[in-house]
Amino acid sequence: MTRAEVCVTACADLFAGDGEILASPMGPVPALGARLARLTTAPDLLLSDGEATLLDPAGTPEGWLPYRAVFDVVAHGRRHVVMGANQLDRYGNQNISGIGPHARPTRALLGFRGAPGNTVNHRTSYWVPRHTPRVFVPAVDVVCGVGHDRDGGPFHDLYRVVTDLAVLDFGGPDRTMRLVSVHPGVTVDDVLAATGFTPHVDEVAVTREPSAAEIALIGDLDPAGERDRAVPG
């Protein structure tokens, strides 16, 4: 069992029981997690190729979802996105747009993209492949994904954050980030040292290990080992 496989199953667990909704996992580890969930705990999950086709976990086309229709699905709310983050704060505000002062950013990144609309319309989780204080900051430089200290409206639903070290949710005071579990071999102190604010800590579990059957499925889904390049070690 590798750390990457723990991360894939933690991402699969984000979708467990999600029913017939569109999974939109950004990045190879959440994408593997969504495909694993479809094969295990979320058999009705819809998986997009990111363009216009819905695919089963083997890559066989099973539906047509052109780009314009994605906006209808977002507005309707039957979607669970797992986005990346250049910065995340304790309330779950996310930045993928720019670093530094807004008037004169030192780095221009992806832009706001779908982040604001995603977070106000449907369930949103985050995947952070390198859990560092540079990502987990006291305050983000630009708010793209809406956090709990803002009015996200009635459909705002920040679910969980999976990283290469841990799983967090928003069960802390005022719906701030709480440490749910540390991955096998990681300590709570490791996570606190890698987080630029203090997440809420009460009872911290160890992230579950993938079963032998899940490890075999992950191997089938990712024969080239893309997961190990995303999460080495």
Interaction site with ligand F8G (CB under 6 A)? 24, 26-27, 70, 74, 81, 83-87, 96, 99, 107, 109-110, 113-115, 118, 134-135
Cβ-based nearer residue to ligand F8G, 113 or 208: 113
- Contacts by 33-38, CB closer than 8 A, 24 or more apart: 33/7, 33/8, 33/9, 33/82, 34/82, 35/221, 36/8, 36/9, 36/11, 36/12, 36/214, 36/217, 36/218, 36/221, 37/12, 37/13
Instruction: Give the residue carrying structure tokens 């832009």.
Output: 111
Cα–Cα distance measured from residue 165 to residue 168, given in angstroms and rounded to the nearest whole number: 10
Count of other CB atoms within 10 angstroms of residue 203: 8
Q: Across-strand partners of 124?
A: 81, 158
Nearest-approach distance from CB 69 to ligand F8G, in angstroms: 10
Nearest-approach distance from CB 209 to ligand F8G, in angstroms: 25
Cβ-based nearer residue to ligand F8G, 28 or 199: 28
Q: How many helices (H) and strands (E) does the chain have?
A: 7, 14
Nearest-approach distance from CB 87 to ligand F8G, in angstroms: 5
How many angstroms separate the most distant Cα atoms in the chain?
52
Cβ-based nearer residue to ligand F8G, 85 or 180: 85
Cβ-based nearer residue to ligand F8G, 119 or 214: 119
Nearest-approach distance from CB 129 to ligand F8G, in angstroms: 7
Nearest-approach distance from CB 78 to ligand F8G, in angstroms: 13
Cβ-based nearer residue to ligand F8G, 54 or 70: 70
Taking CB atoms, the residue at the shortest distance from ligand F8G is 84
Report how far Cα 34 is from the mean position of its chain's Cα atoms.
Answer: 10
